[in-house]
A and B are shown apart, each in its own frame.
Chain A
Amino acid sequence: MSTLLDKIWRSHLVRSQAGQPDLLYADRHLVHEVTSPQAFAGLRAAGRQVRRTDLTYAVVDHIVPTDNRAEPLADAVADAQLKALRANCAEFGVALLDTTDPRQGVIHVCMPELGLILPGQTVFCGDSHTATHGAFGALAFGVGTSEVEHLLATQTLPQDRPRTMAVRVGGALGPGVSAKDLILAIIGRLGVAGGTGHVIEYLGKAVTALSMEGRMTMCNMSVECGAKAGMVAPDETTISWLRGRPYAPQGGDFERAAAWWRTLPSDPGSRYDREVSLDATAIGPQVTWGTNPGQVAEITGAAPDPAGLAGEQERASALRALDYMALKPGVPFRDVAVDCVFIGSCTNGRLEDLRAAAAVVGARKVSPGVRALVVPGSGQVKAQAEAEGLDRVFKEAGFEWRLPGCSMCLAMNPDVLEAGERCASTSNRNFEDRQGRGGRTHLVSPASAAAAAVTGRLSDPRQLI
């Protein structure tokens, strides 16, 4: 009996020797501007080449401004990093989706939508949210720059085999409750380090009912509970989503590939090192109140009282977090006013996310004094949203409609929170200073972010749909 992970691991073993990490082959190596320059420099210094330029794809996403892309970029250091990626890709023969390419976008949004990520593959990238691609039934995880260099030079990665965890989600998500709420609830349950050393496989009715977008949102945030990767077995939803994508197999090849993909799901009765079960029906919209994604609660609730938490470390970290977030214990979330709303990122910057947000906005207006941004995850998402008229819904409500990029997810570009500003954000990390020094981040779903924008406070979107 084998799990999905077993099957992928086995079929990618270049070498396995007792007492050493296994050597895994990389089917896909994705590259972006922030974690690659030192890796290319290492190659150059050692006189090495990129082994498989046909399996290596780059995009610029983290530092690109989402309003004005005229070059040189106003930030000279960012401009140098952009040009370094361009020069490295040209020198080593790596394909690059550049700022002017209509397919450019956040790496974990634009690569899958091109059909580049397929079930059963190994996918690596110098970025922790590489876990996103597990949604296709691929083994996908983030690596550091030394490993990027290793991948470029050898197309392989030495890795110890992770442990396995099954997260089974029964029931069904209610209206106004999304994959984002589900994964936040899971992280809350497991804790920010609960998945360390594990690859999570998401199973159960509520998971298979999700669209590919929803599965990507879930797998994306697996790393926020410390897991190495998250994955969902490929099924007919996966297969029909991939059919016809530009770089997915075509014609007879597609049918042959799909036949193999259908053999990948874990065999019934497979064993996992750890198993956790949840009921989706019991989950409502979630909001983080602290400074890590595990500090999360139902949006209908209130900020916790640290005194009531178990464990000294937990209490200390909750106290620190509430202080940073300027929240009094017991304050209902609906009384918490926001200054800013960010809809976008590799977690929630896809078409389905924008649709969910637009549905809440409807004919409403952004609350006075709130700055609200929609940053589509990719050029294609932006074009599709515009074709559906979503951009008009947002613009008429008073949102800014931006060009694709990471933007305020980590605020490496000019989209930054001011000290003390509070933001309802569809991104994935509420760490201190993440969206700007002294900025306060509440992670929520796209529907909840839209609800916060139009009410000016953290709000339950179910009351607006």
Chain B
Amino acid sequence: MQKFTVLTGLAAPLDRANVDTDQLIPKQFLKRVEREGFGQYLFYNWRFKPDGSPDLGFVLNQPRYQGATILLAGENFGSGSSREHAPWALLDYGFRVVVAPSFADIFRNNASKIGLLLVEMDGQLMREWLQRAQANEGYRITVDLARQEMLGSDGFACVFKIDPFHKRRLLEGLDDIGLTLERQAEIKAYEESHQEPWQAVAHGLTPRE
């Protein structure tokens, strides 16, 4: 997994609640079997008109937000489906951090597996950040994970909370599968002590008479 330590970058405000995964990455792009290249489809139906031309009214299409790496968002961000293509698309587009008052559970899990930092920000403070990013062109924020701190280019700052284990995983870029495979013996012991005859379907799903 990609590490996350400190990042200073341009912040883009997407001031909407309940941004769902169908918006983050519409289903027609889920047929690809690769993991890369989803950035071009991020917010596709908002970024592009039906004829394929960019919709200049959409915030991420504005010249001042090009190259943004920090997304400031509304509550319940990432609701809906389990598609990991949503955080893949955010990361591939260039975002490394999403700041929002709350995130949907599966989206949060998915982001945590690929090194996309989600910062949960109290609603009042969130308003502040959104307003500052809207009011000041070129507004940049430094996100320091070790110190759990956000510092804006105008000096506005705050701390944020994060689960300590998750923080360590991000700082060190730890791979979950690698960590779990160190626990082979425990998994085996569990399997040996839980052998109900109906548990396994050993013959695959060949039809039973």
Q: Do A and B come from one complex?
A: yes
Interface residues of A (CB under 8 A from B): 11, 14-15, 19-21, 23, 25, 27, 34-35, 37-38, 41, 46, 48, 51-55, 57, 63, 75, 77-78, 80-81, 84, 93, 95-97, 103, 114, 116, 118, 126-128, 130, 141-147, 149-150, 153-156, 158, 160, 192-193, 196-197, 223, 226, 228, 246-249, 253-254, 257, 292, 313, 316-317, 320, 410-412, 419, 429, 431-434, 437-438
Q: Are A437 and B17 in contact (CB under 8 A)?
A: no
Q: Is the interface of B mostly helix, strand, loop or mixed?
A: loop
Q: Restricting to B174-209, which residues have a CB under 8 Å from any CB of A?
A: 176-177, 179-181, 183, 186-187, 190-191, 194, 196-202, 204-208
Name 30 interchain pairs, CB-CB below 8 A, sorted by A.
Answer: A11-B194, A15-B186, A19-B164, A23-B183, A23-B186, A25-B191, A75-B31, A77-B31, A95-B201, A95-B204, A116-B201, A142-B81, A143-B82, A143-B106, A150-B177, A150-B180, A153-B181, A154-B187, A192-B76, A196-B105, A226-B79, A228-B105, A247-B201, A249-B198, A412-B27, A429-B20, A429-B81, A431-B23, A432-B22, A432-B45
A150 with B33, Cβ < 8 A, contacts A95-B204, A142-B82, A433-B26 known: no
Q: In the complex, what distance in Å separates the CA atom of A155 from the CA atom of B200?
A: 13
> 4 smallest A-B Cβ distances: which pairs?
A249-B198, A146-B113, A95-B204, A144-B110
Pick the contact of B114: A84, A146, A412, A432 (CB < 8 A). A146
Q: Among the interface residues B22, B74, B206, which one has the most CB atoms of the partner chain A within 10 A?
A: B22
Q: In the complex, what distance in Å separates the CA atom of A278 from the CA atom of B202?
A: 44
Q: Does B83 contact A (CB under 8 A)?
A: yes
| CB-CB nearest in chain A for B36 | A38
Q: Does B124 contact A (CB under 8 A)?
A: no
How many B residues touch A, CB cutoff 8 Å? 62
Q: Restricting to B15-55, which residues have a CB under 8 Å from any CB of A?
A: 16-18, 20, 22-23, 26-28, 30-35, 45, 50
Nearest Cβ distance between residue A163 and chain B, in whole angstroms?
11
Q: Does B144 contact A (CB under 8 A)?
A: no
Chain A neighbourhood of B84, CB < 8 A:
35, 38, 126, 144-146
Q: Among the interface residues B76, B105, B187, B201, which one has the most CB atoms of the partner chain A within 10 A?
A: B105
Q: In the complex, what distance in Å separates the CA atom of A40 from the CA atom of B209?
A: 31
> Knowing that A142-B106, A153-B181, A316-B17 are A-B contacts, what are 14 other residue pairs whose CB atoms are under 8 Å apart, sorted by A's residue number?
A14-B183, A14-B187, A15-B183, A34-B31, A81-B31, A128-B80, A141-B106, A145-B35, A196-B76, A196-B102, A226-B79, A228-B105, A317-B18, A434-B22
Q: Among the interface residues A15, A55, A226, A438, which one has the most CB atoms of the partner chain B within 10 A?
A: A226
Chain A neighbourhood of B22, CB < 8 A:
410, 429, 431-434
Q: Does B62 contact A (CB under 8 A)?
A: no
Q: Does B7 contact A (CB under 8 A)?
A: no
